[in-house]
Structure 1
Amino acid sequence: MPGVFPLGTEKSGTGDTEDSTRKRRRGLAVSTLLATVAWPAAALAQQVEAALVHPFSMTTGEVIQLSLFLGITGAAMLSAILLIRERTRTAAENVELRGRVAELDSAVQRSDALLNLRDQRILVWFGDTRKPELVGTLAEAPEDRATFLAFGRWLTPRSAAQIERAIADLREQRQAFDLVIETTKGSLLEIQGRSAANNVAVKFISLAQARREHAELRLEYQQLRRDHDNLLGLLHSIPTPVWLRGPEGRLSWVNKAYADAVEAPDALAATSEGLELFGTGAREQIARDHLSSPIFAGGLSTVIGGDRRVFAVTDYAGREGSAGFAHDISDAEAARTEHQRTLRGHAETLDRLNTAVAIFDASQDLRFYNRAFQKLWELDAGFLDSNPDNTLLLDRLRSEGKLAEQPEWRRWKENLLSAYRSVEPLEDIWHLPDGQTLRVVGNPQADGGVTWVFENLTEKISLESRYNTAVRVQGVTLDNLAEGVAVFGSDGRVRLSNPAFASLWGLPEDLVQAGTHISAIRAACQSLTRFNPWSDLAAAATGFDEERRDGRGQVELNNGNILSYAVVHLPNGQLMTTFFDVTDSVNVERMLKERNEALERTDRLKNDFIQHVSYELRSPLTNIIGFAELLGQETAGPLNQRQRDYVEHIASSSSELETIVDDIIDLATVDAGMMELSVSEVPIERIVHSAAEVVTERMREHGIALEIDLRNAPATFHADENRVRQILINLLNNAANFAPDNSVVKLVCERDAAGLAFSVHDDGPGIPPDVLDGIFRRFEPRANGGRRRGAGLGLSIVKSFVGLHHGSVEFQTDKGCGTTVICRFPMAPEGIRAAAE
């Protein structure tokens, strides 16, 4: 029916709006209303006609019916008019919608045609769906969906990894991409990835020849780019300086090693500042060589890090610039020089040997010979310097009659030259026509050559005969020695003995003859001494101990004689015993020991006396100092000037005496092993200035300046602060005593290899060698040009306290050059002993 939408059209009319739907529903409602009121229309018409004929004959009900009929008729007419207008408008809309649907169908068909073109394939993800839609065909790709999505099966591994990373970035980060990938068959594909709204599409396009060439160039560019980056990374990582220069000769690129060599912060700074590795002369030399050849190769030197280094430089000059690198060969040059020096040293050593040596290479050519070789065969140097081969040398020696004639010369020579094919040394004895006997050793070398050693045994044979004569002479000598000698074999029997052996022990001569067992001698000597050593000697001669130890000892005979003996193990299991009468020397030694013990007892007595007196002096000395201070304060009444001078003199003398007593007590404590150090972290500057304040007034009296140098000293070190302060005061007092008036005393503190060193220098007369030997002896005051004599304890205190810190004291002195005392301390002493030994 006209104006009614077919069902199929209604479904396909995707452009149908909600307003059109409401209007169609309203038209259906009006039609239904008209259908419900159409059935009484005839009856109402009859009533109207009757009313017109008889206008005054109508009843009230008829009037109502007539009014109702007229109202319904008017409404129906109005509805019909509206319905007609609505149908007209709806028909126009349907025509428009059909045209739009036709356009959309055409667009869909065009899209399908475009999507299904050959040589391209598209993957589309709609929204958040995991499985993509696949459209299109591609000859280079598999048709099967699963196989197509498994990129690793039909793409190269690098391309598969590349496309998977790109698709992941596209879906997760909406990052578009354009790639060129390669299949396992060598085909190239262009891949484009784009995103729109919630959809993601990846298109695979087969390339035409021109685009294929473009893609190949692009792929090649990518490969070159990667290779370029890898090459730059490699050049930056190697320790060899590398550089590139532009057409004008300026640096355009350098690697990290170049930047480090020229001390630039980075490679960019080195190029921008034009920092050159080599000097102007070296660069000019490279430029001159480039005029004749594009490649420069040579050795150049430059200074890096304060050291001169040698480089093997290779520089290539092209039309648009140059490139070069410098390989550090300083170590190789040093090794080559050392190798050449070693070779020269070996050659010089071999040249000084009396044994003839000749070295032949793998071609059997002579490469080295020493003077002994030339002298042995009496060959001219020109022939030997021509590097003759071994065969020619043997033939010449034979022709000149210097080798003995052999029954089969050829076979003998072949056997000799087999050393070049052997792995073991070859050894032979040659008897020369002139009477010499040679021991010939051919030692094969790793490079195929052979080193021939010609040892002249003529003198050795002569020595053997002379040796036999010497043995007989030595036998006579042993018989006339004052020292008793007896040699026993491994079976314990006498091999030889001299008359002095029997004389020293008072044995009969027939008892010590060759073949007598050592047990018989032990029994004979049993009654001659209280402590018989022959039991140990017999055990040493007949024992089976693997570690045979020599020994020494003494034995005192019953007649008062004292014998010193020695046990010496000889080769072949033999044992030699020697006995020497040391009665006189032992008596002298005993006398000296007794004297030494007496001196030690005297020294101990002296120390005990000093310690006792020192402690007994402290009490009255303290009283004297206290009363002197009271008198000086005039608490007991006023003093005149002379009395004040006396009191001051008493106070100063008492202070000096108290210092001496304290030093004596400290030394006694050290000697007794009871002094303990209180080790802590000591500020060096504070302790130095504290010690300087004590001696400043004394130095000022004589115009002596004190110069303190702490520039190279650390801030602190670990020691006993009071003892170190006492050491410095004694050193400064000693220097002030010997320094000339108006001179300078220098106190220096610095680090050294042993730890920390304090040195005090004065310009005094120096210390004579005879005085220097006993410089640390106590109670030996040494004036030696000093202003006053002391108790001689200052340097003894210094040595004892420094020794407690595991340090050392050193003197540097010479006549007219003054004296320097150096005290060395460890920075952090370990295992501080409680007292000095």
Structure 2
Amino acid sequence: MTVDMKIADEDVRGKDAARGKRVLKKLRTALAGAGSTLSILGASSFAAHAEDPLGKINTPFGVAFGTFEVIQFAMFLGAMGAALLSAGWLIRERSRIANENRQLRDKVADLNVAVQRSEALLNLKDQRVVVWEGSSTTPNLVGSLPQEIGVPEDRSLFLAFGRWLRIDSATLLDRSIEALRGKARPFDIVVETSKGTPLEIQGRTSGSYAIVRFISLGEARATQALLKTENYQLNEALTTLRGLLEQLDMPAWSRDRSGKLNWVNVAYAKAVDINDTHIAVAETRELFGVQARERIEREKAVNSAFRDELSTVVGGDRHVFKVTDVASSAGSAGLANDVSDIELVREEFKRTVLNHSDTLDQLNSAVAMFDANRKLQFFNQAFAKLWGLETSLLESRPDNAMLLDRFRSDGTLPEQPDWRRWKESMLSAYHSVESQEHLWHLTDGRTLRVIVNPQPKGGVTWVFENLTEKLQLESRYNTLIKVQGQTLDHLAEGVAVFGSDGKIRLSNPAFASLWSLKNEEIAEGMHISAIRRLCEPVSNATQWESFVTTVTGFDDKRESLQGHIELTTGKILYFASAPLPSGQTMLTFVDVTDSVRVERALKEKNEALERTDELKNDFVQHVSYELRSPLTNIMGFTELLQTPLTGPLNERQRDYLDHIGTSSSVLLTIVNDILDLATVDAGIMELDISDVSVADAVATASEKVAERLKEHNILLDTHIASGAGSFRADASRVKQVLSNLLSNAANYAPEGSTITMTCRRELGEMVFSVQDNGPGMPDYVLDSIFKRFQPYPNGGRKRGAGLGLSIVKGFVELHGGKVDISSAAGRGTLVTCRFPLEARTFSIAAE
């Protein structure tokens, strides 16, 4: 307030000075007016009275005045009038000024009293005022604040607001004072001292003065101020938060207590196809569907928050959002993060990792990955197999150092002079940025190439490559190269290898010998055209032209050539060209003079044999067909003679007819067998596939041999396994096979013995077995038992044509089955036929 009083005194002094100047100006004006009046009066008088010739002026009173006297008198009158007028005016002005001075003194006295009262009020211990005049940087301070609240009394310390105010409060105060002084923007704020005491600060301007008042608050006002500060901070935070949410490319929203939208950001409005956020709120545009919103409300009712992924359609495409919605007493707020791309990347990453894992599992090289804590994170199957470790142990994420100790304890790693130092050197890769490579020679003779590769995020990857086979292969390769060189040099086959440029790379002595060339004539690097000129005189020029084309040609598809070339010397060479890698070509020549001649002789003999075989087949077929007709007539007339219509026969005649009938039947059976075999050999036999009852086939075959078995007192023991049922085959051929088997067994079985037949299903096949107790067959006979027209008369009662087992083998193989014979001298014979359950026709070669 002292500053205000000084301002008031200066205003009073200024007003007095101005008033005095105005008075002097008025005095000058009055004097000038008085002189003018006197001059006018003198002139008038001079004009009214004419001058006499002597220059005297005659007055009405008869007194004559001279001109000079008149002028002096006029001037006197003018001066006196002006003086009188000025004196009167001055007296009046002085009286007025005195009254004004008396009023001003009263006003100054009142102002002094007000200043004293204001200073008394300002000097209270609860407020302090800072005043800046114009652009001055040095302010005036009035009043004081209690020191117990943490406000310094010293001027310089007080103006350093950052020392006794909190950082945020000092920053707020500096910004407010800057706005007050620069833009005349008033403010009312509440700040906190470093001791936590609130202060109310008011900023105002008055003319060129900027005034800031610091007010210490009471308990109630302090609480109110704290609430005001908190409210301000909350508003600022809310404004900042909403500003942040407005800039985010993620839909955000808030709802009131009733669940209605009251605010959305720009991203939310774009997601619901609206450009204005206010319109989105007004029209209550929802981002998610009804079911999704109901799910959010249910979750918030239980947990006060919802966190999960929801899908919705945005811009015509389905997107997946990671939604967070939090409820409070005032409503709720939510944020949705579009994770569609993240989900795609995550799925792609999972597939990539899985593919990498599957790929690494297919590698022969052992791979193990350890994290930054040296724990096993991944291993492939080759790693577990290489070290013989259990999968359960590896899945427990063992430590890298522990695995090295395990390898040592298992005796796989060789002992080191200093195991600890060696292990530390191996594990130093965890602190390295470069890959390391080592060779480990295991105790079992294996050699491993170990690559330790540090990972960018810590950890290492161990790759174990087994070089044992590689080293062995290299050794074998070097040995093989030497052996091949020696072999090529000693081969009777001539070999020459040409490069893509047509120059010879390799040749052996046999090549030069076959073409009667000297070693220096086929030196390495010699072109094939030069060799051609040397060889053409003794060979076919056209053939060598094809050799040159094959070696030097540029065809995309390189084909092999082979054939024979006959030299003028009488040699016959077999040649072959083989394309090799890197555009090389190998030519080989073999002297086949003798073999070609033998081959030609064999071909001629084979042709003769084929003609003989064809003649034999023609003969067999012709004879077979020609025999059927007379046999049929003989059998017909024999049956006719046995009927009573032809007359009575004596006993001997009937016996003769029986023998004729039996012999005719046997001969017809042989003829039919020959025809069947001829049909099979010709490949024209077709099977009539149908359901064949095992029991019916066995019964039919048994009836055909019943008389022979009865004649020699031989029993037939038949065993049909349960479930044998039926199978798909040619019924007549199956019955013929079984009849031949039983006939063959009856021919060799001793009298009074038993023939055993078994039928069963076994692994998709129908198996028929016939066992007899005959003399059996030695091993050398078994090799030819299925050959035609080669019967084996080892104790057999009848010697047939030797076609029974051949027909059995042919019909069984025609069904797609096979026949096995197990026999030994003195131990009988077991014949086993295996038919497929679903037969199909197979072509078989003639025996």
TM-score range, shorter chain: 0.3 to 0.5
TM-score normalised according to structure 2 size: 0.47
In terms of Rg, which structure is larger?
A: 2
TM-score, normalised to structure 1's length?
0.48
